Structure 1
């Protein structure tokens, strides 16, 4: 069973949602048969990289808040993250465009490192103050999860991986996704936002039952007469 997750590296609730889903999966009896696929979503595709500007200043400018209000909001989100074992430090967060990082994620995904890189990028952004638009930084993070530096560099610059990012965004639009994180289980059940672990557990159970029902073998319906048919050797009766 597949779980597709649309998210942005710069979304604090996406990292929290990742942890809550992981907690639900840890208790899920069929977790070994679940595949997680990360999908790209850009909250602000035109975001300008400004390393000298604090995230509080950026939020104050874009949302009409005061810097104090932005810092207070950050503290509240950091407290929520702390409950999931995450250590957010918004004083270190770098205002940067994340498209290069998403290209790298597309490359990591097809090389079996999608989840590992997603985790590393989240931690680097929210806890370490890594610049998601800085190519050497991204290459270093890619190497840390086992990706080759030269291939990672090529992926960051690749038009093909950029097209893959855009395709994920297009898919999200077709689904009507208005915010992230957004989880789709078995292409049938959607979960919006960083829901509590219990919600994810319920969604997993529901999706799994439907998944198992579709995979169940056909049951023969016995009739009163033998039905006419043709076999694979061309014999018909």
Structure 2
């Protein structure tokens, strides 16, 4: 949801912005095959009832609908996402980072796919244009694991404790799925700060590759 709102904001900014996705696990200790559903996990984690967990989740589903996303929380499959992160970083080396990120998110939140399963991840990778054999080999080993852990260590240094977390120019941070207007305001602020303001008068000697222009009196 935060990703989609950022994308909506970028359409309103007349300035090139480069977006890079980084790795972060909410629960690195989570197993690959989880019997609990999302409501049971939330109820246990936050000490609430199943009904309260469903109500809270439904609010998120409604917010997702407002930006064109279809979250199917009733059938969402909880799993460890480390290998999904490894796949995204591998896709980045092939020029498919954005496509792979979008595909995994849709598979998880909308299609209720098991994104901890290597067969599932391989099929998703092939869909975005990656080589099946290369992906299967990567997932079978520990390739890209160091890259994922390095990102997670960087996140700790920045004090990241939840997602989504947006860091702009390594200086400004936005946490949570902020409204598109908030992203627009933040991006415009950073862009304005990066612009060079000419403070000198027009009376100085101005030189370029063609020579020097003598100030007119």
Equivalence for 2:3: 18
Q: How many residues align?
A: 205
Deviates more, 1:58-67 or 1:174-183: 58-67
Matching of residues 196-235 of structure 1 within 5 Å: 196-213=179-196
**1:211 deviation in Å?**
2.9
Secondary structure in 1 aligned to 2:13? coil
Please report the TM-score for the alignment, with normalisation by the length of structure 2.
0.86
* 1:71–1:148 distance in 2 versus 1, CA, 3 Å: same
Equivalence for 2:12: 27
Moved runs in structure 1, 4+ residues, more than 4 A? Answer: none
Asked whether the 8 Å contact 1:101–1:156 carries over to 2, the reply is: no
Secondary structure in 2 aligned to 1:191? strand
Structure 1 unaligned regions, length at least 5: 1-15, 224-237
RMSD over equivalenced CA pairs, Å: 2.4
Q: Show CA shifts across 1:64-103 (max 9, x none).
A: 2222222222211101111111000111100111111000
Deviates more, 1:156-165 or 1:129-138: 156-165
Please report the TM-score for the alignment, with normalisation by the length of structure 1.
0.79
Which residue of 112, 128, 142 maps to 2:95? 112
Structure 2 unaligned regions, length at least 5: 205-217
Which residue of 36, 44, 69 maps to 1:53? 36
Equivalence for 1:38: 21
Residue 71, structure 1, aligned to residue 54, structure 2: yes
**1:158 deviation in Å?**
4.1
Secondary structure in 2 aligned to 1:140? helix
Asked whether the 8 Å contact 1:78–1:88 carries over to 2, the reply is: yes
Higher relative contact order at CA 8 Å, sep ≥6: structure 1 or structure 2? 1
